[in-house]
Structure 1
Amino acid sequence: MLVLTSLCFTAMVLFCLAMTKHREQVIVHEVSILAVHFFRPLAWLLLSFTAYLSVDMYGWSIGPALLFGALTIAILLLTLLLTYRAKIVPKLAIVMSLIAIISIFIS
Protein backbone atom coordinates (compact mmCIF):
# COMPACT_ATOMS: atom_id res chain seq x y z
CA MET A 1 0.00 0.00 0.00
CA LEU A 2 2.95 2.31 0.69
CA VAL A 3 4.21 1.78 -2.86
CA LEU A 4 0.83 2.69 -4.33
CA THR A 5 0.46 5.77 -2.15
CA SER A 6 3.99 6.95 -2.98
CA LEU A 7 3.49 6.54 -6.72
CA CYS A 8 0.07 8.21 -6.61
CA PHE A 9 1.51 11.13 -4.66
CA THR A 10 4.30 11.57 -7.20
CA ALA A 11 1.81 11.48 -10.07
CA MET A 12 -0.39 14.07 -8.38
CA VAL A 13 2.62 16.33 -7.83
CA LEU A 14 3.39 16.07 -11.54
CA PHE A 15 -0.20 17.08 -12.31
CA CYS A 16 0.24 19.94 -9.85
CA LEU A 17 3.42 21.10 -11.58
CA ALA A 18 1.65 21.04 -14.94
CA MET A 19 -0.68 23.82 -13.75
CA THR A 20 0.66 27.36 -13.72
CA LYS A 21 -0.99 28.45 -10.48
CA HIS A 22 0.29 25.52 -8.46
CA ARG A 23 3.71 25.52 -10.12
CA GLU A 24 4.23 29.15 -9.04
CA GLN A 25 3.07 28.24 -5.55
CA VAL A 26 5.43 25.27 -5.22
CA ILE A 27 8.56 26.17 -7.22
CA VAL A 28 10.39 29.47 -6.95
CA HIS A 29 12.52 29.02 -10.09
CA GLU A 30 11.26 29.31 -13.64
CA VAL A 31 10.70 25.95 -15.36
CA SER A 32 11.17 25.63 -19.11
CA ILE A 33 8.00 25.27 -21.16
CA LEU A 34 9.33 22.04 -22.67
CA ALA A 35 9.57 20.45 -19.23
CA VAL A 36 6.08 21.67 -18.34
CA HIS A 37 4.64 19.94 -21.41
CA PHE A 38 6.11 16.62 -20.23
CA PHE A 39 4.65 16.79 -16.70
CA ARG A 40 1.07 15.83 -17.59
CA PRO A 41 1.87 12.84 -19.90
CA LEU A 42 4.46 11.63 -17.41
CA ALA A 43 1.88 11.83 -14.62
CA TRP A 44 -0.61 9.80 -16.67
CA LEU A 45 2.07 7.25 -17.43
CA LEU A 46 2.98 6.96 -13.76
CA LEU A 47 -0.69 6.64 -12.78
CA SER A 48 -1.18 3.90 -15.39
CA PHE A 49 1.87 2.08 -14.05
CA THR A 50 0.46 2.39 -10.54
CA ALA A 51 -2.84 0.87 -11.69
CA TYR A 52 -0.99 -1.99 -13.35
CA LEU A 53 1.13 -2.53 -10.26
CA SER A 54 -1.93 -2.53 -8.02
CA VAL A 55 -3.69 -5.17 -10.09
CA ASP A 56 -0.49 -7.20 -10.40
CA MET A 57 0.19 -7.15 -6.65
CA TYR A 58 -3.34 -7.63 -5.31
CA GLY A 59 -5.38 -9.03 -8.20
CA TRP A 60 -8.52 -7.73 -9.87
CA SER A 61 -10.68 -8.36 -6.83
CA ILE A 62 -9.04 -5.87 -4.43
CA GLY A 63 -6.40 -4.08 -6.55
CA PRO A 64 -8.62 -1.30 -7.98
CA ALA A 65 -10.11 -0.58 -4.55
CA LEU A 66 -6.64 -0.26 -3.02
CA LEU A 67 -5.58 1.95 -5.93
CA PHE A 68 -8.42 4.39 -5.31
CA GLY A 69 -7.72 4.30 -1.57
CA ALA A 70 -4.06 5.15 -2.18
CA LEU A 71 -5.10 7.87 -4.61
CA THR A 72 -7.41 9.37 -2.01
CA ILE A 73 -4.67 9.41 0.62
CA ALA A 74 -2.18 10.96 -1.83
CA ILE A 75 -4.61 13.69 -2.92
CA LEU A 76 -5.53 14.50 0.68
CA LEU A 77 -1.85 14.77 1.63
CA LEU A 78 -1.09 16.96 -1.38
CA THR A 79 -4.08 19.20 -0.72
CA LEU A 80 -3.07 19.75 2.89
CA LEU A 81 0.54 20.40 1.91
CA LEU A 82 -0.45 22.90 -0.80
CA THR A 83 -2.59 24.71 1.74
CA TYR A 84 -0.11 24.90 4.59
CA ARG A 85 3.45 24.02 3.44
CA ALA A 86 3.64 24.30 -0.34
CA LYS A 87 7.41 24.67 -0.55
CA ILE A 88 8.17 21.15 0.70
CA VAL A 89 6.03 19.42 -1.96
CA PRO A 90 8.86 18.84 -4.51
CA LYS A 91 11.22 17.51 -1.84
CA LEU A 92 8.56 15.19 -0.47
CA ALA A 93 7.74 13.97 -3.98
CA ILE A 94 11.37 12.99 -4.50
CA VAL A 95 11.48 11.19 -1.16
CA MET A 96 8.21 9.38 -1.89
CA SER A 97 9.54 8.31 -5.30
CA LEU A 98 12.66 6.88 -3.70
CA ILE A 99 10.54 5.04 -1.12
CA ALA A 100 8.43 3.55 -3.92
CA ILE A 101 11.48 2.45 -5.93
CA ILE A 102 13.12 0.85 -2.90
CA SER A 103 9.88 -0.88 -1.93
CA ILE A 104 9.39 -2.28 -5.44
CA PHE A 105 12.90 -3.70 -5.56
CA ILE A 106 12.71 -5.18 -2.06
CA SER A 107 9.43 -7.04 -2.63
Structure 2
Amino acid sequence: MMSIAAFCLAYAGFAALCLGMDRHYEAVFDRELPRRHRTPLRALGWAALALSLWASAAVWGWRYGAVEWIGILTLAGLLLIWFVSYRPGCALATGGLCAAAAPVLAWM
Protein backbone atom coordinates (compact mmCIF):
# COMPACT_ATOMS: atom_id res chain seq x y z
CA MET A 1 0.00 0.00 0.00
CA MET A 2 2.93 2.32 0.58
CA SER A 3 3.78 2.25 -3.14
CA ILE A 4 0.24 3.37 -3.94
CA ALA A 5 0.61 6.10 -1.33
CA ALA A 6 3.85 7.16 -3.05
CA PHE A 7 1.98 7.36 -6.36
CA CYS A 8 -0.80 9.43 -4.79
CA LEU A 9 1.73 11.79 -3.24
CA ALA A 10 3.57 12.15 -6.55
CA TYR A 11 0.34 12.90 -8.42
CA ALA A 12 -0.81 15.38 -5.77
CA GLY A 13 2.61 17.04 -5.83
CA PHE A 14 2.61 17.39 -9.58
CA ALA A 15 -0.96 18.71 -9.46
CA ALA A 16 0.04 21.36 -6.92
CA LEU A 17 3.08 22.35 -9.00
CA CYS A 18 0.87 22.47 -12.06
CA LEU A 19 -1.65 24.74 -10.35
CA GLY A 20 1.22 26.96 -9.25
CA MET A 21 1.66 27.95 -12.89
CA ASP A 22 -0.41 30.77 -14.39
CA ARG A 23 -1.45 28.94 -17.53
CA HIS A 24 -2.75 25.81 -15.81
CA TYR A 25 -4.42 27.72 -12.98
CA GLU A 26 -6.35 29.74 -15.55
CA ALA A 27 -7.36 26.56 -17.41
CA VAL A 28 -8.88 25.10 -14.23
CA PHE A 29 -10.38 28.18 -12.54
CA ASP A 30 -10.87 30.63 -15.47
CA ARG A 31 -9.11 33.42 -13.61
CA GLU A 32 -5.57 34.61 -12.90
CA LEU A 33 -3.41 32.94 -10.32
CA PRO A 34 -3.22 35.17 -7.23
CA ARG A 35 0.36 35.89 -6.13
CA ARG A 36 -0.37 34.72 -2.60
CA HIS A 37 -1.33 31.23 -3.88
CA ARG A 38 1.72 30.70 -6.09
CA THR A 39 4.34 30.08 -3.36
CA PRO A 40 2.22 27.78 -1.14
CA LEU A 41 1.17 25.66 -4.13
CA ARG A 42 4.76 25.22 -5.21
CA ALA A 43 5.95 24.48 -1.67
CA LEU A 44 3.22 21.88 -1.19
CA GLY A 45 4.06 20.32 -4.54
CA TRP A 46 7.74 19.92 -3.73
CA ALA A 47 6.94 18.64 -0.23
CA ALA A 48 4.57 16.02 -1.65
CA LEU A 49 7.22 14.88 -4.14
CA ALA A 50 9.77 14.57 -1.33
CA LEU A 51 7.30 12.56 0.76
CA SER A 52 6.70 10.36 -2.26
CA LEU A 53 10.42 9.60 -2.45
CA TRP A 54 10.46 8.82 1.26
CA ALA A 55 7.48 6.46 0.90
CA SER A 56 9.17 4.59 -1.96
CA ALA A 57 12.39 4.31 0.02
CA ALA A 58 10.48 3.04 3.06
CA VAL A 59 9.21 0.07 1.03
CA TRP A 60 12.20 -0.82 -1.14
CA GLY A 61 15.17 0.86 0.52
CA TRP A 62 16.97 3.84 -0.95
CA ARG A 63 18.61 2.01 -3.87
CA TYR A 64 15.53 0.36 -5.36
CA GLY A 65 13.16 2.93 -3.91
CA ALA A 66 14.73 5.67 -6.00
CA VAL A 67 14.25 3.60 -9.15
CA GLU A 68 10.63 2.86 -8.24
CA TRP A 69 10.11 6.54 -7.47
CA ILE A 70 11.28 7.56 -10.95
CA GLY A 71 8.77 5.13 -12.45
CA ILE A 72 6.04 6.48 -10.19
CA LEU A 73 6.91 10.04 -11.23
CA THR A 74 6.66 9.03 -14.88
CA LEU A 75 3.23 7.45 -14.47
CA ALA A 76 1.88 10.27 -12.32
CA GLY A 77 3.21 12.90 -14.71
CA LEU A 78 1.72 11.23 -17.77
CA LEU A 79 -1.65 10.87 -16.06
CA LEU A 80 -1.63 14.51 -15.02
CA ILE A 81 -0.64 15.64 -18.52
CA TRP A 82 -3.59 13.74 -19.94
CA PHE A 83 -6.01 15.17 -17.38
CA VAL A 84 -4.77 18.75 -17.82
CA SER A 85 -5.01 18.44 -21.60
CA TYR A 86 -8.50 16.98 -21.80
CA ARG A 87 -10.18 17.50 -18.40
CA PRO A 88 -8.52 20.30 -16.40
CA GLY A 89 -11.20 20.22 -13.70
CA CYS A 90 -10.69 16.50 -13.17
CA ALA A 91 -6.96 17.10 -12.70
CA LEU A 92 -7.73 19.24 -9.65
CA ALA A 93 -10.29 16.82 -8.26
CA THR A 94 -8.01 13.82 -8.73
CA GLY A 95 -5.13 15.69 -7.11
CA GLY A 96 -7.27 16.46 -4.08
CA LEU A 97 -8.43 12.86 -3.82
CA CYS A 98 -4.86 11.62 -4.05
CA ALA A 99 -3.72 14.08 -1.39
CA ALA A 100 -6.48 12.87 0.93
CA ALA A 101 -5.94 9.18 0.16
CA ALA A 102 -2.14 9.14 0.58
CA PRO A 103 -2.05 9.31 4.40
CA VAL A 104 -4.77 6.67 4.67
CA LEU A 105 -2.92 4.35 2.30
CA ALA A 106 0.38 4.92 4.10
CA TRP A 107 -1.24 4.09 7.42
CA MET A 108 -2.63 0.79 6.12
Q: Determine if the alignment matches structure 1 residue 56 to structure 2 residue 58.
A: yes
Query: Residues 1-107 of structure 1: matches in 2 within 5 Å?
Result: 1-28=3-30, 32-106=34-108
Unaligned runs of 5+ in 2: none
Amino acid of the structure 2 residue aligned with 1:46: A
Amino acid of the structure 1 residue aligned with 2:84: L
TM-score after normalising by structure 2: 0.88
**% identical aligned pairs:** 25
Question: 2 CA distance for matches of 1:98 and 1:42?
Answer: 13
Amino acid of the structure 1 residue aligned with 2:77: I
| Structure 1 residue 29, shift from structure 2 partner | 5.4
TM-score after normalising by structure 1: 0.89
Question: 1 CA distance for matches of 2:94 and 2:31?
Answer: 17
Deviation above 3 Å: which 4+ runs of structure 1? 28-32
Question: 2 CA distance for matches of 1:24 and 1:44?
Answer: 21
Amino acid of the structure 1 residue aligned with 2:46: W
Unaligned runs of 5+ in 1: none
Amino acid of the structure 1 residue aligned with 2:21: M
Aligned length: 106
Amino acid of the structure 2 residue aligned with 1:68: I
Q: Secondary structure at the match of 1:62?
A: helix
Question: 2 CA distance for matches of 1:30 and 1:24?
Answer: 6
User: After superposition, what is the alpha-carbon deviation per residue over 1:11-33, rounded to whole angstroms, capped at 9, x for unaligned?
Assistant: 00111011100110112355542
